[in-house]
Structure 1
Amino acid sequence: MSRHVLTSRPNILCFVTDQQRADHLGCYGNPDVQTPHIDALAAEGVRFTHAYVANPLCMPNRASLFTGMYPKAHGVRENGIGLSPELPALPEVLRQQGYHTASFGKLHLVPYSIKRHTPPAPFEIYETPEYWQEHTDIPVPYYGFEQVYLTCGHGPYIFGHYKHEVGEEVHALLNIDRAAVTPSGVRESWKAAIPQSRHYNTLIADHTIEYLRTRDAEQPFFIWCSFPDPHHPYMPPAPYSEQYDPASITFAPARRAGELDDLPAYFRASHEGQITTGGLEGGAQISDADYREIFAHTYGMISMIDDQIGRVLAEIDRLGLRENTIVIFMSDHGDLMGDHWLINKGPYPFDGLLRVPLIWRVPSGKGGQVNESFVSAVDFVPTVLDAAGISPYAGIQGRSYLQPALGEPVRHRDHVYIEYDCSYLPDRLRHIRSEAFALTFYERAEAGLLFDLRSDPRELHNRWDDPALTEVREELLRQLLRDSVEADSWLPLKKGHA
């Protein structure tokens, strides 16, 4: 099959959500959440069932999505480290090859705050509140994006272009003290009073649509349409805040009594709020009734995003762009949402956090396909370049999955490798996952995690010390070592023999 997808360079439209599990979509089997537009996209394209992060945290995995490199190669090992502009990034590569590049919504490629004593580098300030207190725009191109509408942060903490556009009075309607009804007291959960028409998700879609209408039609485009939701806080506006009844939500977390006794000590300490880790907010004080409200509001946020995606896709069709536009839907990582007695994210290598939705609709591809092979976030860049007919650049560690994205029954990977460096513990996690097993190795701990996914798909019984799996564990550790070495960077390239 030809390496080029279309007769001319295709437009590429990426929809990205933040902190969304794969199983929080109707097309992934969720019986409650209503996502008709995303479900239709899956029915028309290819839905990947085993798409995984390179790191289960916002900044490291987004950096992997932009570079095609693992975190230890691109350097964003955890949140709070900016992606160096010296590294090649997908939007800049596409821009140099004649694409017009535009981003609407969340990027999060540099920290939202600079708290260390070391002065920030110039590139590290553009997504901080301090910068936006004195500016209303950022220099472009920004990581290769020629046009940028930026939202930084989440919920009432969102700033950037969006806050300047709506103004302080409207922005204040995101706050919990301005909630549409008196909050129940569930942590980080309320019904936002802001009108749907002025909500950040709506304006992200508005600006994407306006770009589609006014762009240079002679130039192919790459659009990053990135929604900050359904990341906590859980605070959808009406009517989405009333769309789901908490009492009717299916709540069946992957957990068991006594489970925390069989996991490394930091799991219980995290659950009880005794330690801080990247992204986790405890969990011990969240009751099952609380979780039902959190789920109802999360689903409301997802349904709102689904409607905004529907609006953008309708504009694609109205403008006659469907036949030359690749559409991608994905998320940066998942959320534990009560699994294993935890919520949110961090150094907790379980499926609900690591597995993400991934859908591709390629005009020349076969629609309605499901691909069950494993895909990594580092594979996104080489796949997009492959689709655009552009050769991969030095340093890319991922592999193109274009043929599976076209609907061909091709096996891409049989396992994935995932990293997490957590300075809060402090420790470094290395994880490997296949259909049969999931193993996590810790740099500093004596024991690790080992789950037999064939008999224990919900990962409830850690069998690291099980003699029956000793040989399996040793073989997985050897494979993990190979993967970890393969993830070491080859940059900078050598320039001569000596």
Structure 2
Amino acid sequence: MKFRILILLTLVSLNISCANDPPLNVLLFTFDTTRADALGCYGNSKSHTPNLDRLAAEGVLFENCLSSAPLTMPAHSTILTGTNPNVHGVRDNGAFILAENQTTLAEILGGSGYATGAAIGAFVLDKRFGIAQGFDHFDCDLSQGYENFWGDRLQTKNQLFYNDRPAPQVNDAILPWLRQNKDRPWFAWIHYWDPHHPRTPPAPYNELFPTDPYQAEIAYADEALGMVIDELEKMGVKDRTIVIMVADHGEGLGEHNEETHSILCYNTTLHVPLMIWTPGCGSGLRVRERVGSVDIVPTVLDLLDLPQPGDVQGRSLVPLLFEDEDPGGAPPPYYAETISPRLSHNWGELRTWTDGPFKLIYGPRPELYNLDDDPHELHDLIEELPEQSQTMTTMLAQYITETSVEPSETSVTETDPEILQRLEALGYITTRDGMAETTRDTLRSDGTPPQDRVGDVNKVSAVKSFLAETQYLAAKEIAGELVGLDPSNPHYHIWLAWAEMGLGQLDVAASNVEMLPKLPSGETALVLEIVRRLAVQGEYERSLNLINRVIEVDRKPYALAMRGFLYKDLGDEVRHLQAFHEALQEDETYVPARLHIAVMLAEQGSFTEAAEQYEIAIRYDPLNPHSHFDYGKVLVELDRVDRAAPHFKRAVELLPEYWKAHIALIAVLNQMGQIDEADAAYNNLVEICSDDTVLQEAEKILMGF
């Protein structure tokens, strides 16, 4: 089916290229975690969103747009395929991929001759999850957000949250591509993660909203959007570019006792902003009719006069974009779901059906609301209107039966343990067992009502934030409450131990971890830090027992190398060396283990073998000054002074305050009779070093003493 669609689109593109007017470009902005009522154009007088307000004033604003899921990856999969989660198969973040048999908007437009590019703001939309299908250019490199020019980390990223990057860096990743493709039709998707928890807005927005970081982050993303629109004007393509802004989902902000999102299905997290500008659309038009993010793909294809794939579930909103057109008829029902409570916590799941004024939330404890009379969903009508509830339950069950597809073999990321370890570390998945059974589509009412346990998730968000902010006393209190609520959850114990360690209670933290029957594979970083601190205190046996448990669930080379150091501390030289070789067996590019082996070989006088290890280490990590210095020393021992000099010089370039490397460089240059070069190296040292001891030693070497 997908292949036939793309062949058809290739033929259609031949007709497009013959048209007199160039095809319209398509620019899709997705804001993460952004409620409609958080924007100025939706009536929030406290917000600062001038660029979005301008887009609404010049284009069409949809007052009642619904997301298909309160989670990033499922909601974006709907935005890019025009299908609901029960059809595209992505039911939660990280644990699913968008299968190859799904057709994305990028694939459709790419098959019609468009260049396709995207830049995303967080790991949850990484290309490994299938969302990059159809994009020629897909930038998901998040490392620049935390590294300087030399690759050193500027901000410590722990295992509490998804890796991300700020909106301006997303722009930096996509704007060069836009400029390169300005003379051909293109489709660009730009994703801003900034409003998502945790929120650390930069100046001046943290000062503009000192007590509301959510509004500050939205304002920050708004500024980034404005920069892209300005760039379109400079490129001269704005007037022929369809611009769409939509949020993937909203945020609870404490309403219905949900601080963040993913657990409940109220409109706090499902009502999202949607704005569209296209040539000739109604300027400043506001559409009250209910629509959905599932409608974006068919709308774009309709605007471009391209055929619709047969499995698209949304409808075209083109009749609503122009004031002189009457769409006629009632809007269709809209479906949404969150399966995450079952996957992440073994609670019940929720599915919604919104039709006319009524909204049904089906799950272990169903709820019914009249949104016309009760837009904030405060008065449950499930007991007062049993017939209406039954009618909508029947319609929802029929929809699921008629449209749902069986889980694809590639819909669950069971083949990528790295992803699942990261998700477990974040606390998003408690078990992998029965994943396919858990997501099989049928109307289910079993399990704990998520409404009753959403407070647990609030506590999880709070404890992770406190840990990230090093507020360990507050983190310990909340983590202790979580352990009391669910003593069997290993993540709660790990977070409690984290807080205890931060408070200097190392023995208590270690005991908390030691009592766990099995360590969660995604939480090993904290346990290894406990191991390190115990070793510093001389508790080598206790450290060794803990690290052996770590390696049982996660054979990372770092852990294996750390075990090697523990064996050395215990005087076991055989296992000491064996551990470092095991680390290289797991990952031959793990440079610290290779360097340690090289040092050991050099200490034993095996300089040729040591040189081989240094050569490999430098090939994998050419920017390590210590590798170059130590390799240079080995080359001197091998009487290869001419080869040693460039490595000493490189060590100095990489680390100018590396005084030993300066002295070694002066010595070998002097030994080779390169007096002018040795003088220059000495003068360079004098300019940057104020340590008289170092300078006197260098002068003696230079003078031949």
Match of 1:418 among 336, 358, 364: 336
Which residue of 360, 366, 369 corresponds with 1:439? Answer: 360
CA shift, 1:454, in A, is 3.5
Partner residue in 1 for 2:318: 402
Residues 1:95 and 2:139 aligned together: no
Instruction: Determine which structure has the larger strand proportion and give its number.
Output: 1
What is the aligned length?
383
Max Rg structure:
2
Is residue 2:84 matched to residue 1:70? yes
DSSP-derived class of the 1:60 partner: helix
Change (3 A) 1:166 1:313: farther
Deviation at 1:331, TM superposition (A): 0.8
Does 1 or 2 have the higher relative contact order (CA < 8 Å, sep 6+)?
A: 1
* 1:343 partner amino acid: E
Shift of 1:462: 2.1
Which segments of 5 or more consecutive residues in structure 1 lack a partner in the other structure? 113-122, 128-141, 152-158, 177-186, 189-197, 247-295, 493-498
Find out whether 1:327 has 2:243 as its counterpart.
yes
Say which SS state the counterpart of residue 23 (structure 1) adopts. Answer: helix
- In structure 1, what is the equivalent of residue 201 of structure 2? 236
RMSD over equivalenced CA pairs, Å: 3.1
**1:251 matched to which residue of 2?**
none
Note if 1:52 corresponds to 2:66: yes
| Inter-CA distance 125–432: structure 2 relative to 1 (3 Å threshold) | closer
Matched position secondary structure for 2:155: helix
More helix as a share of residues: 2
Task: Report the 3-state secondary structure (helix = DSSP H, G, I; strand = E; otherwise coil) of the residue aligned with 1:326.
Answer: strand
Which amino acid is the alignment partner of residue 448 of structure 1?
Answer: P
In structure 2, what is the equivalent of residue 388 of structure 1? 304
Distance 1:221 1:83 in 2: 23
AA partner of residue 242 (structure 1) = E
Q: Once the two structures are superposed, what CA deviation does each residue of 1:249-281 show, in whole Å capped at 9, x if it has no partner?
A: xxxxxxxxxxxxxxxxxxxxxxxxxxxxxxxxx
Does 2:256 match 1:340? yes
Task: State yes or no: 1:358 paired with 2:274.
Answer: yes
Unaligned runs of 5+ in 2: 1-15, 409-705
Aligned partner of 1:81 in structure 2 is 96
Please point out which of 482, 485, 488 is paired with 2:404: 488
Report how far residue 236 of structure 1 moved.
0.5
Q: Is the 8 A contact 1:92 1:143 kept in 2?
A: yes
How far apart in 2 are the matches of 1:205 and 1:374? 31
CA displacement, residues 203-260 of structure 1 (integer Å, 9 cap, x when unaligned): 222333322322251x2010001111200101111111111243xxxxxxxxxxxxxx
1:425 alignment partner AA: N
Partner of 1:473: 389
Output the CA distance in 2 between the equivalents of 1:65 and 1:85: 16
Contact 1:103/1:147 (<8 A) preserved: yes
- 1:319-352 deviations in whole A, cap 9, x for unaligned? 2112210001111111101101211112311111
Give the Cα separation in 2 of the matches to 1:482 and 1:125: 30
TM-score (norm 2): 0.50
Shift of 1:169: 4.6
Identity of matched residues, % = 30
- The superposition leaves residues 364-385 of structure 1 with CA deviations (integer Å, 9 ceiling, x where unpaired) of 2121101111212222111122
In structure 2, what is the Cα distance between the partners aligned to 1:144 and 1:165? 32
Residues 167 and 37 of structure 1: CA distance in aligned 2, closer, same or farther (over 3 Å): farther
Q: TM-score, normalised by structure 1?
A: 0.70
Matches of residues 95-494 of structure 1 in structure 2 within 5 Å? 95-106=110-121, 124=128, 142-150=132-140, 159-160=142-143, 162-163=145-146, 168-169=151-152, 171-172=154-155, 200-215=166-181, 217=183, 219-246=184-211, 296-407=212-323, 408-410=325-327, 413-421=331-339, 422-423=342-343, 424-434=345-355, 436-442=357-363, 445=364, 447-466=365-384, 469-489=385-405
The residue that corresponds to 2:685 in the other structure is none
* AA partner of residue 231 (structure 1): H
Shift of 1:200: 2.5
SS at match of 2:290: strand
Alpha-carbon shift at residue 428 of structure 1 (Å): 3.3
Question: For residues 465 and 44 of structure 1, do their structure 2 counterparts lie closer, same or farther at Cα, with a shift above 3 Å needed?
Answer: same
> Quick one: distance in 2 between partners of 1:457 and 1:23?
12
Correspondences of 1:10-25 after superposition (within 5 Å): 10-25=24-39
